[in-house]
Structure 1
Amino acid sequence: MKKPTPNPPETDETSPYESADSRKLHEAAERALDHHFNPLPKKCPGRKPSQMFQISPDMDDESLLAHACESLASASVMASDVAAYVDSPQRHRILGIQQVIMLAELAVNRVLDNVEVSRYPA
């Protein structure tokens, strides 16, 4: 009786770990494949983020926005002050930077106006 499908080709039973060289090649190939096809960032187990400039995770949104708004206002004033002491080409650049800062400040102020303050968490 004939089979509808042929037998799979016979393969030799060699292991990629037969010798030290084949093991190294196999590990290198695995690393290369993981690098290109599994680009998930690997987190270093012993790495701790710097705590020099850190915002408390339980800080409320309104306080964060208020601080951002005050920082942008200060940066705008500093840019304006520096622009008063430089000549025309640099002054235009600094005033352009000040305008971007002011637009960011306006956006933060709008968000602050729209934030619904919940004093008592549910």
Structure 2
Amino acid sequence: MFKVTPNPPETDAIPESDPTSPYSAPNSRKLHEAAERALDHYLKPHLPSERKPSTMFIVAPDMETESLLAHACESMASASIMLSDFAGLLETPYRNTLLGIQQVVMLGELAVNRALDNLEPPTRN
């Protein structure tokens, strides 16, 4: 048996009595636009603006790479020792966390040392 389906209602003219229409009141279009802006704010990704690093603490631009790496290596070695000493004062779960951080710092120190080894010494005339 074939069931007759009525044509869908016209979308151009929204009846004033439709309680689900967002455009039934004069200000409802403004509310709809505000809701769209709110959704866009929370759901659309924002493109980050160009990052401008702080100039409060700045490394001199004319520093040699070897000097920078040597300083980084010394800083990481100091951080590794401080973390190791501090881990000795803590109980087991916190000690393990701190020792894990200390190991990551130590691996960074090894990588910086390798970078220093790979640098060619400057030729002196």
| TM-score, normalised by the number of residues in structure 1 | 0.58
1:52 and 2:56 aligned: yes
Shift of 1:42: 5.6
Shift of 1:50: 3.7
1:112 and 2:116 aligned: yes
The Cα offsets for residues 68-95 of structure 1, whole Å up to 9 and x where unpaired, read as: 0000000000000100000000000000
Q: 1:67 maps to what in 2?
A: 71
Q: 2:101 maps to what in 1?
A: 97
Q: Give, in whole Å, the separation in 2 of the partners of 1:52 and 1:117.
A: 32
Label 1:59 to 1:89 Cα distance change in 2 as closer, same or farther (>3 A). Answer: same
> Could you tell me which of 60, 70, 87 is aligned with 1:83?
87
Q: Tell me how large the CA RMSD over aligned residues is.
A: 2.5
Task: Report the identity percentage.
Answer: 58
Q: Give, in whole Å, the separation in 2 of the partners of 1:42 and 1:97.
A: 31
Runs (5+) with no aligned partner, structure 2: 1-43
Higher RCO, 1 vs 2 (CA within 8 Å, ≥6 residues apart): 1
Higher gyration radius (CA): 2
Range that drifts further, 111-120 or 75-84 = 111-120
Shift of 1:97: 0.3
In structure 2, give the amino acid aligned to 1:51. T
